Amino acid sequence: MKSILSICAGLVSLATFAQQVPKPILPDVYADPHIAVFNKTYYIYPTTDGFEGWGSDKFTCWSSKDLVTWKNEGVILDLKKDLTWAKERAWAPAIAEKNGKYYYYYSADTNIGVAVCDKPTGPFKDPLGKPLIAKGQYQAQSIDPMVLVDDDGQAYLYFGQGRCYIVKLNADMISFDPNNVISYKPEGYNEGSFAFKRKGKYYLMWSEYDTRDPRYSVAYGVSDSPMGPFVKGDKNPVLKGSGEVKGAGHHSVVKVPNKDEWYIVYHRFKIPDGNGYNRETCISSMYFDKDGNILPVDVFEVVKGRK
């Protein structure tokens, strides 16, 4: 009888665990998710994971109306077919829209490229025939681009591992003046910068530690300017693993149109048996206090989605 009770208790414990850890929102393994919303549809642009050394050579796009059910829109950029200057290590993309065109920024063999399309689901084309930012052009590794388009239409590019670089993009969205690049390294900064604006304040978020480290996490700073300097918040990190959730980081955030309602999308080690090469994409709500500080994210929250 004691053995049966122990088994029952174990089953209850497993059931409780299953309820506590939400399922990933994308199937299989994807990392470095960039989320955006265009015309009432949400899109996620991730890194395809599961390769030792992060050797993926293609990018995909996923779409959703409710943040819960996601449709695979297929390959939107294939490095081997679509580029002449890089064939592997397709990492950490981002997207921005301006004047009816969609600009897709991405890492390729530790260069940063840009591609363009008339729709957010691609296929995207390389307008330059070369990197936007070449490997070794700056002290930091040239990866993890992110673009913020401000209310006045001016776009800002953020990038870099080890240091964060910021520069205004030209009106064409595919060039910038190298003389205007500034360098910034918040305390703890490693990679994965993401910038957004809320109530007149600019937020810069970034990942700390290494993506293979279970301590991988997200912190942030605030500024009155998209160019910084950014003052790191007192209560950091705002996103980190807990219990079975490990390596929660390299995120992006999205605002529900016409509402002060925010969500954060990020990766964690695959559960079970995940690591820095096998990561899965998750979503949680993101809240602010009355002073605009980002509150700690609940990685065990089950997001029910929106209509």
- pLDDT-derived band of residue 306, with 50, 70 and 90 as boundaries? low
pLDDT at 259 over 80: yes
Percentage, residues of the chain above pLDDT 70 = 93
For residue 100, pLDDT over 80 is answered with yes
pLDDT tens for each residue of 142-171: 999 999 999 999 999 999 999 999 999 999
Angle at 254 between CA 256 and CA 142, to 5 degrees: 160
Active-site residue 244, yes or no? no
* CA atoms of 35 and 266, how far apart (whole Å): 9
DSSP string, the chain: -HHHHHHHHHHHHHHHHHHHSPPPSSSS-EEEEEEEEETTEEEEEEEE---TT----EEEEEEESSSSS-EEEEEEEEHHHH-SS--S-EEEEEEEEETTEEEEEEEETTEEEEEEESSTT---B-SSSS-SB-TTSSSSBS---EEEE-TTS-EEEEE-BSSEEEEEBPTTSS-B-GGG-EEE--TT--EEEEEEEETTEEEEEEEES-TTSTT-EEEEEEESSTT-PPEEPSS--SB--BTTB---EEEEEEEPTTSS-EEEEEEEE-TTT-BTTBEEEEEEEE-B-TTSPBPPP-TT-------
Q: For the chain, what percent of residues have pLDDT higher than 90?
A: 90
Higher pLDDT, 56 or 11: 56
**pLDDT, greater one: 52 or 4:** 52
pLDDT at 210: 98
Res. 10: pLDDT tops 60: no
User: pLDDT class for 82, splitting at 50, 70, 90?
Assistant: very high
Residue 15 has pLDDT above 60, yes or no: no
In the predicted model, is pLDDT for residue 54 greater than 90? yes
pLDDT the model gives residue 304? 86
Exposed (0-12), middle (13-18) or buried (19+): which is 72, by Cβ within 10 Å?
exposed
Q: How far is residue 45's CA from residue 31's CA, in Å, rounded to a whole number?
A: 9
Residue 274 has pLDDT above 90, yes or no: yes
Q: What is the pLDDT of residue 8?
A: 44
Residue in 153, 118, 117, 147 with CA at minimum distance from that of residue 132: 147
Q: What is the mean pLDDT of the segment spanning 283-291?
A: 98
Please tell me the pTM assigned to this model: 0.93
**Average of per-residue pLDDT values in the chain:** 93
pLDDT > 90? residue 5: no
In the set 57, 144, 191, 208, the catalytic residue is 191
- Which residue ranges make up each domain of the chain? 28-286
Euclidean distance between CA atoms 277 and 211, whole angstroms: 9
For domain 28-286, the CATH superfamily is Glycosyl hydrolase domain; family 43 (2.115.10.20)
Residue 29, pLDDT > 50, answer yes
- Over range 222-234, report the average pLDDT: 95
Q: Is residue 18 pLDDT above 70, yes or no?
A: no
Q: Which of 32, 126, 144, 280 is catalytic?
A: 32
Kindly state the average pLDDT of the residues 13-33.
Answer: 79
| pLDDT digits 0-9 by tens, 169-227 | 999 999 999 999 999 999 999 999 999 999 999 999 999 999 999 999 999 999 999 99
151 catalytic, yes or no? no
